[in-house]
Structure 1
């Protein structure tokens, strides 16, 4: 099975639970960029509750006319400092923050020009941390719909899986920060509990739907065992 999804900024742990059964990951690169989504934001839990971290993009008002792989990050705003300080404040006392911190910080300070490239670097790091050695590829054209069984002749799929046919599951826009404001579809993470509760830094109670960073910094190498 190949999962088709947009590329997120530190996505919810539910995405990685979905990837447990996948043989490859196909990233939507040719869609028109969408604002107010996980493409440039993530949710973490702080002492003040759940807080979004948002990456500013250049010409955000025109972003919907730009393809996902071409959208540029706005470094005129000091967002890296704000994000990193917030992560330190939220997770500095978590069991595994210091174990992983340098790897994430190195990516931040490398300052790739494109949001797609930044998110892709973080994705590869997260897959490595969660021990999910999935091959990844990006789309070369936009398609509103994909057939359930994708023929080998399709370049993107062929680069992932060498077999005559392979099932493709379209998970584009499956994860959205606004999912709690509408009636969830039967196959969304809001309906299916894909992440087992784990001890979070701030409580009380378990807050679902957070960035996978929350799980990783809390559980470290055991994080994958909480995905189901």
Structure 2
């Protein structure tokens, strides 16, 4: 299977990881222009009130379309780390595996990296370990459109999935999108798709990877 190219995402949806099954490698786009209201700085979790968005505030938001994704800085003037952590504790504190992962996640959050890309990469590397995904992660060194990427890296067979998953997209909108097998969730009777990988990990722990196929 070819390598997969994704943009950097904050606590990506489980579908992100399902798309990597069988891939040769993951490439992360570091040279695209930052886009607001995407998974680059937000994720979707499940609470007693339903699905809820958690957003990492960034600096220079008003001119973010002119800033590289890899250069976007996190805005720590807002106490978002404490707010996100408390929300995760409230939503998932009683799940079977919250305590199993909590200390590791807490350490990543409270390192308070300067760049959003750094935070996302630290979280992604942790999730790879949790899911036992052993494919290498590469960072792009310059930007190429999907049609020209292969011309500049002819040795790489690549599946371009940049901005393929978005918070606004309906579940299953892409006909070739890989699905995540339904699993018991903390709230509600109907399965809620497209949640952050955190939801699956907190509910299924080391078995989470078996639900990605």
TM-score of the aligned structures, taking structure 1 as reference length: 0.89
**Are the aligned partners of 1:146 and 1:170 in contact in 2 as well (CA < 8 Å)?**
no
1:146-225 equivalence runs, <5 A: 146=147, 150=150, 154=153, 165-180=155-170, 184-188=173-177, 192=178, 194-225=179-210
1:53-72 equivalence runs, <5 A: 53-72=54-73
1:146 Cα deviation from its structure 2 partner: 4.0
Report Cα offsets for 1:57-76 as digits up to 9, x if no partner. Answer: 00111111100100000000
- What runs of 5+ residues in structure 2 fail to find an aligned partner? none
2: CA distance, partners of 1:63 / 1:147: 24
1:147 Cα deviation from its structure 2 partner: 5.5
2: CA distance, partners of 1:209 / 1:88: 20
In structure 2, what is the equivalent of residue 103 of structure 1? Answer: 104
1:21 Cα deviation from its structure 2 partner: 1.3
What is the SS of the residue equivalent to 1:50? strand
1:187 Cα deviation from its structure 2 partner: 2.5
1:203 Cα deviation from its structure 2 partner: 1.3
1: CA distance, partners of 2:20 / 2:98: 23
Report Cα offsets for 1:77-100 as digits up to 9, x if no partner. Answer: 000011000000000000000000
CA RMSD of aligned residues (A): 1.7
- What runs of 5+ residues in structure 1 fail to find an aligned partner? 155-163
In structure 2, the CA distance between the partners of 1:55 and 1:126, relative to structure 1 (3 Å rule), is: same
1: CA distance, partners of 2:204 / 2:82: 25
2: CA distance, partners of 1:170 / 1:20: 15
In structure 2, what is the equivalent of residue 15 of structure 1? Answer: 16
Following superposition, which runs of at least 4 residues in structure 1 exceed 3 angstroms of deviation? Answer: none
1: CA distance, partners of 2:141 / 2:107: 29
2: CA distance, partners of 1:130 / 1:86: 23
In structure 1, what is the equivalent of residue 89 of structure 2? Answer: 88
**Are the aligned partners of 1:147 and 1:168 in contact in 2 as well (CA < 8 Å)?**
no
Q: How many residues align?
A: 212
TM-score of the aligned structures, taking structure 2 as reference length: 0.95
